[in-house]
A = this chain, B = another copy of it.
């Protein structure tokens, strides 16, 4: 059974294909009467335009890619959901891709964009380095980075972004611990040299310590991979170091850390204070509730979508830095 095409519609309606096409695309220059008749026949025959043909002729698609970098966290899933909603309600198709590992990220993204003939691309997470500018130019479509760390010096004309100030937010968090008397503060970080979100947060940790005249001790820093399990393990290592507080760069790891602490017979926050990052809903439902730095996930998805739609029309890159919110829960206390 052949599917109906524009030609069939034209024949039945007794008009030319171009007229049908004009109706489909809501172009002017079609008599109201003709338009109505064509629309009715389209309805009757259950006609659905063939997107492949359309895209071929238009030499572009309506596909927007979401390229997810790194571990897929609860954090990302909220962003993706709000992104998809806003894009698809603007008649775009959303193609999803998870990139594993941190290597060749941008090459993989370009491959993805070219192959799928994307007209726009959203990066979720990861980092953008100065020496990757060239790739960005190669990719001649609007690109927006969400929750990505942008290295200094990258040409802001080449892309858009929706980010938070990781350094500032983390600095604020660690300072809070310091102000509350903590001096032996452990850190649960992530990534090995290539995870810049982790790096920015780490720098903030080091600088905050230094500003309080606390010597940085690398034994107090342990690495994870954003999972609860890794937070648990990292915390176990820190337990030997007699820390009084620990800063985990993700709520998931903070939760793992809390579990490790309790499992070893210690109490949060009496024995060890815990500070997370992300402000996930679930942190608020822990007992005790997690002190954390909250990122506006849904809002971030919305903004990324809005901006992408705008630059798809106007081509003027935008950069916005969203505010984080320091939420004091019950996992931190004065000593």
Q: Is the CB–CB distance between A88 and B97 below 8 Å?
A: yes
Shortest beta-carbon distance from A161 to chain B in Å: 22
Would you list 24 pairs from A and B whose C-beta atoms are within 8 A, ordered by A residue? A48-B114, A48-B115, A52-B55, A52-B61, A52-B117, A74-B74, A84-B96, A85-B98, A88-B97, A88-B98, A93-B116, A95-B95, A96-B96, A227-B281, A228-B285, A229-B281, A252-B282, A255-B285, A256-B285, A259-B286, A259-B287, A282-B282, A286-B286, A287-B287
What is the chain B residue whose CB lies nearest that of A113? B48
- Interface size bucket, A side? 35 or more
A40 within 8 Å of B by Cβ? no
A262 within 8 Å of B by Cβ? yes
Shortest beta-carbon distance from A184 to chain B in Å: 23
Roughly how many angstroms separate A252 CA and B93 CA in the complex, as a whole number?
30
Chain A, range 253-269, C-beta contacts under 8 Å to B: 255-256, 258-259, 262
Q: Is the CB–CB distance between A228 and B61 below 8 Å?
A: no
A50 within 8 Å of B by Cβ? yes
A81 within 8 Å of B by Cβ? yes
Roughly how many angstroms separate A119 CA and B229 CA in the complex, as a whole number?
38
Q: Is the CB–CB distance between A259 and B232 below 8 Å?
A: no
Q: Is the CB–CB distance between A96 and B94 below 8 Å?
A: yes
What is the chain B residue whose CB lies nearest that of A61? B52
Residues of B within 8 A of A281 (CB): 227-229
Residues of B within 8 A of A114 (CB): 48
Shortest beta-carbon distance from A61 to chain B in Å: 6
Residues of B within 8 A of A117 (CB): 50-52
User: Are A56 and B52 also in contact (CB < 8 A) when A96-B84, A255-B285, A282-B228 are?
Assistant: yes
Roughly how many angstroms separate A229 CA and B284 CA in the complex, as a whole number?
10
Residues of B within 8 A of A93 (CB): 95, 116
What is the chain B residue whose CB lies nearest that of A73? B77
Q: Is the CB–CB distance between B285 and A115 below 8 Å?
A: no
For the complex of A and B, the 8 pairs showing the least CB-CB separation, nearest first, are A52-B55, A77-B77, A52-B56, A259-B285, A48-B114, A96-B96, A228-B285, A72-B81
Residues of B within 8 A of A50 (CB): 56, 117
What is the chain B residue whose CB lies nearest that of A229? B281
Residues of B within 8 A of A284 (CB): 228
A79-122 toward B: CB 8 Å interface, digit per residue (1/0)? 01100110010000111111010000000000000111100000
